[in-house]
């Protein structure tokens, strides 16, 4: 066993990965089921080692605006919360998309609407990928399905956020956040120096130098003609991301007659369903979207021409299923199975639904 | 090897930490492990439970409906999990907290009088380690030396002086466990 392999919760893995990646600042406000992120950071006290700032803000709204400020200076800035707190952050996320600021937001979802419950849910899918804030923007969205991916996606999220100058979200839930698994933490990287940030982020507001005009970070543009141009620029980079950043995993799809489509914790549950179904002679595979935006539309469209039916499994009333249906575009039937309000589906429940709705 | 285990009892009985020690022990044997707690408000007074999976192969779902072993430490836990033990699987309970009989005949039932014993040992804090000893006796899924390594790993260093006491409790649990029912 490598020395680096440890047993920890998904939330703890995010905190440790952030310190190791060289994140400059975390700003958050506690809420179940993700409070271990800020607790772990506070206990690790990285301000004494890497110099990373960890700050408990007075509210979620304050935290997201602190992230805006850090990101405007080209820093690796992040926040985390759970569903109700993420709703509060939507204004800030829209502003960051409009001001083209890269940052990481982690949503460890719980059941809603409203304050709902503290149990796991995936009911913030629409909010995340369809624009929880106002305006025509997209949020780069990664959906980890293991504690290992919780750790790995911190770095990936920052990489993509800075590549596209756009906020990125890790969309996970109470199952992955609270469970413990073995994880290999990423290698230590030094925080970037001020000079490196100046080179990598010429747009950052780090103080004007004689050789350039002032940098202005804002989402405000009162001239509609210019604002349309800005929007066209955003859309152009979204198209590039859609063409190049789609990530997904295929499990036992080669000989599958039927396909499960699920992300995050639901995908883990579906993997067990695959075994149960195959024991009964039903050939089932799984496509797990890893990027929820950009969505693996093409691969699902292709499977629409190969398999007899699909079932999306979500901890919600049917959200991603709409994107799967758009991808499949009527080639075959796409059904949905979900449990609501914090109830986690069982592998047996998924199998029963598959037999009822899809396997004919 | 695949063992899907649920441990359930009152908050404060050491349910989550027993699961954690089991998971650490599995990790010491280079096995795949997962630990998924019911992290709800039930931790504070109602029933707390944790699912621990130890496997030779990568673990698919950390959430399962049927268990190889259910350890139930109070009546609500028995009510909740009796029906979810796999046929031929094991149910382990502490005599102190359970007042109704197990109804199923197709599972093995074991009793560990851990509460009584921990009172005799004048140390109720080792209650969960006595139970763990019972589990390891009937289903030796991990070796004792790896449990001790796991215990060391999961305890903060300031508590390492308590390791011998915990080992004694595990060994006592191994002696105490009694089979009450053979699965038919």
Q: What is the pLDDT of residue A1?
A: 41
* Beta-carbon separation of A180 and B35 below 8 A: yes
The residue of A4, A7, A278 whose CB has the most chain B CBs within 10 angstroms, and thus the best one to mutate to test that interface, is A7
What's the Cα-to-Cα distance from B56 to each of A2, A246, B26, rounded to whole Å?
17, 32, 10
Q: Decide if A181 and B41 are in contact by the 8 Å CB cutoff.
A: no
Among the listed residues B147, B101, B96, the one whose alpha carbon sits nearest the alpha carbon of residue B118: B96
Beta strands across the sheet bearing A258-261 = A248-251, A284-289, A258-261, A309-314, A334-338
B46 to chain A, any CB pair closer than 8 A? The answer is: no
Give, rounded to a whole angstrom, the gap between the first and last alpha carbons of chain A.
Answer: 46
HEC string for A24-53: CEEEECCCCCCHHHHHHHHHHCHHHCCCCE
> Listing from the earlier edge strand, what are the strands of the sheet with A53-56?
A53-56, A25-28, A77-81, A103-109, A167-173, A140-142, A291-293
A115 touches B at CB < 8 Å: no
- Residue A182 contacts B, CB cutoff 8 Å: yes
User: Is there a contact between A272 and B36 if contact means CB atoms under 8 Å apart?
Assistant: no
> How much helix, strand and coil, in percent to the nearest 5, is found in chain A?
40, 20, 40
**What pLDDT is recorded for position B45?**
59
Predicted pLDDT of residue B39? 75
Instruction: Give the model's confidence band at B43: pLDDT under 50 very low, under 70 low, under 90 confident, else very high.
Output: low
Q: So what CATH class is B2-181?
A: alpha beta
Cβ-Cβ contacts under 8 Å, A346 against chain B = 63-65
All residues at 6 or more sequence positions from B132 whose CB lies less than 8 Å from its CB, including other chains: B18, B21, B22, B147, B170, B173
Looking from the CA of A278 toward its CB, the CA atoms found within 13 Å total 17
Tell me: the pLDDT tens digits for A114-130? 999 999 999 999 999 99
Question: Would you call B41 and A118 a contact, using CB atoms and an 8 Å cutoff?
Answer: yes
Contact between residue B97 and residue B73 where contact means Cβ atoms under 8 Å apart: yes
Q: What is the pLDDT of residues B90-129, one digit of tens each?
A: 999 998 888 899 999 999 999 999 999 999 998 888 999 9
**At B99, is the secondary structure helix, strand, or coil?**
coil
The verdict on B41 touching A (C-beta cutoff 8 Å) is: yes
Count of CB atoms situated within 10 Å of the CB of A59: 12
- Mean pLDDT along residues A134-153: 98
Per-residue pLDDT tens for A297-350?
Answer: 999 999 999 999 999 999 999 999 999 999 999 999 999 999 999 999 999 999
Of B24, B59, B65, the CB nearest to A346: B65
A344 touches chain B (CB under 8 A): yes
**Residue B43 sits at the chain A interface (C-beta within 8 Å):** no
pLDDT tens-digit series, residues B4-13: 999 999 888 8
Using the predicted structure, report yes or no on whether residue B173 has a pLDDT greater than 70. Answer: yes
Phi-psi region of B86 (alpha: psi -120 to 50; beta: other; left: phi over 0): beta
DSSP state of B104: -
A43 touches chain B (CB under 8 A): no
**Burial tier of A273 (Cβ tally within 10 Å: 0-12, 13-18, 19+):** buried
Q: For chain A, give me the number of helices (H) and strands (E)?
A: 14, 14
| Mean pLDDT for all residues in chain A | 97
Question: Are the Cβ atoms of A118 and B39 closer than 8 angstroms?
Answer: yes
Handedness of CA A293, A121, A20, A2 (dihedral sign): negative
Domain boundaries, chain B: 2-181
Measured between CA atoms, how close is B53 to chain A, in angstroms? 10
Mean pLDDT in residue range A89-106: 98
Task: Count CA within 13 A, CB hemisphere, residue A46.
Answer: 25
Cβ of A347 within 8 Å of Cβ of B64? The answer is: yes
Question: Tokens 């990481």 identify what position?
Answer: A104
| Contact across the interface for B40 and A269, Cβ inside 8 Å | no
The helix/strand count (H/E) of chain B reads as 6, 7
**Where does A73-187 have alpha helices with state H?**
83-88, 90-98, 125-129, 147-164, 174-178
Inform me whether the C-beta atom of residue B83 falls under 8 Å from chain A C-beta atoms.
Answer: no
State the count of interchain CB pairs (< 8 A) between A and B.
72
Per CB-CB distance under 8 Å, the chain B contacts of A115 are: none
Does any CB of chain B come closer than 8 Å to the CB of residue A175? yes
3-state secondary structure of A309: strand
- Rounded Cα distance, A124 and A83, in Å: 7
Q: Which of A117, A268, A346 is nearest residue B60 as measured by Cβ atoms?
A: A268
Q: Measured between CA atoms, how close is B118 to chain A, in angstroms?
A: 29
Contact B60 A275 (CB under 8 A): yes
Residues of A in contact with B66 (CB under 8 A): 348
Q: Is the pLDDT of residue B40 over 80?
A: no
Partner residue opposite B24 with nearest CB, options A7, A178, A272: A7
**A348-353 average pLDDT score:** 98
Tokens of A25: 């600042």
- Ordered structural domains, chain A, with CATH: 5-194 (3.40.50.970), 249-357 (3.40.50.920)
Q: And the tokens for A15?
A: 């905190």
A182 → closest Cβ in B20, B27, B37: B27
Is the pLDDT at B154 greater than 90, yes or no? no
The tokens describing A32, both together, are 């179940």
A180, A347, A348: residue with CB nearest B23 = A180
Tokens at A79, concatenated: 């926040």
* Confidence band of A154 (pLDDT split at 50, 70, 90): very high
For the stretch A210-255, pLDDT in tens is: 989 999 999 999 999 999 999 999 999 999 999 999 999 999 999 9
């Amino acid at each position: 066993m490598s020395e680096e392999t440890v047993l920890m919760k998904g939330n703890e893995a995010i905190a440790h990965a952030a310190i190791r990646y060289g994140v400059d600042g975390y700003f958050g406000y506690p809420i179940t089921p993700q409070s271990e992120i800020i607790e772990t950071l506070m206990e690790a006290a990285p301000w004494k080692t890497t110099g990373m700032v960890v700050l408990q803000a007075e509210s979620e709204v304050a935290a997201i605006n602190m992230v805006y400020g850090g990101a405007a200076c080209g820093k690796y800035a992040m926040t985390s919360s759970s569903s109700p707190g993420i709703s509060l952050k939507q204004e800030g996320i829209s502003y960051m998309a409009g001001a083209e600021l890269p940052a990481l937001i982690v949503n460890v979802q719980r059941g809603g609407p409203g304050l709902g419950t503290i149990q796991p849910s995936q009911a913030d899918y629409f909010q995340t990928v369809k624009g929880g804030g106002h305006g025509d923007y997209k949020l780069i969205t990664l959906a980890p399905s293991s504690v290992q991916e919780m750790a790995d996606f911190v770095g990936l999220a920052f990489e993509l956020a800075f590549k596209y100058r756009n906020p990125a979200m890790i969309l996970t839930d109470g199952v992955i956040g609270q469970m413990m698994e073995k994880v290999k933490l990423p290698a230590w990287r030094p925080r970037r120096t001020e000079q490196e940030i100046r080179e990598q982020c010429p747009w950052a507001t780090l103080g004007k130098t004689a050789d350039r005009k002032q940098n202005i970070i804002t989402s405000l543009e009162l001239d509609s003609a210019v604002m349309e141009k800005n929007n066209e620029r955003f859309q152009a980079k979204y198209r590039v991301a859609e063409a190049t950043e789609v990530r997904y995993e295929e499990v036992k799809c080669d000989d599958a007659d039927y396909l499960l489509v699920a992300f995050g914790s639901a995908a883990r549950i579906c993997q067990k369903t695959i075994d149960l179904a195959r024991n009964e002679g039903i050939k089932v595979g799984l496509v797990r979207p890893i990027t929820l935006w950009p969505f693996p539309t093409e691969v699902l469209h292709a499977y629409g021409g190969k398999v007899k039916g699909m079932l999306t499994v979500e901890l919600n009333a049917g959200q991603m299923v709409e994107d799967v249906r758009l991808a499949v575009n009527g080639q075959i039937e796409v059904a949905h199975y979900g449990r609501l309000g914090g109830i986690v589906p069982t592998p047996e429940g998924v199998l029963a639904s598959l037999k009822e709705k899809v396997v004919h | 090897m695949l063992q899907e285990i649920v441990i359930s009892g009152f908050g404060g009985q050491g349910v989550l930490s027993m699961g954690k020690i089991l998971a650490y022990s599995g990790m010491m044997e280079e096995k795949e492990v997962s630990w998924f707690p019911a992290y709800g408000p039930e931790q504070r007074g109602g029933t707390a439970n944790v699912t621990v999976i130890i496997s030779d192969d990568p673990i698919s779902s950390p959430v399962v409906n049927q268990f190889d072993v259910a350890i139930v430490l109070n009546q609500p836990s028995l009510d909740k999990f009796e029906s979810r033990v796999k046929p031929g699987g094991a149910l382990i309970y502490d005599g102190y907290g359970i007042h109704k009989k197990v109804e199923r005949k197709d599972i093995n039932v074991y009793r560990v009088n851990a509460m009584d014993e921990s009172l005799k040992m004048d140390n109720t804090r080792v209650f969960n380690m006595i139970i763990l000893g019972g589990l390891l006796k009937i289903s030796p899924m991990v070796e004792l030396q790896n449990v001790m390594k796991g215990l060391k790993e999961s305890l903060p260093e300031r508590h390492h002086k308590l390791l011998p006491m915990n080992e004694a409790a595990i060994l006592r649990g191994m002696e105490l466990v009694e089979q009450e029912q053979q699965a038919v």
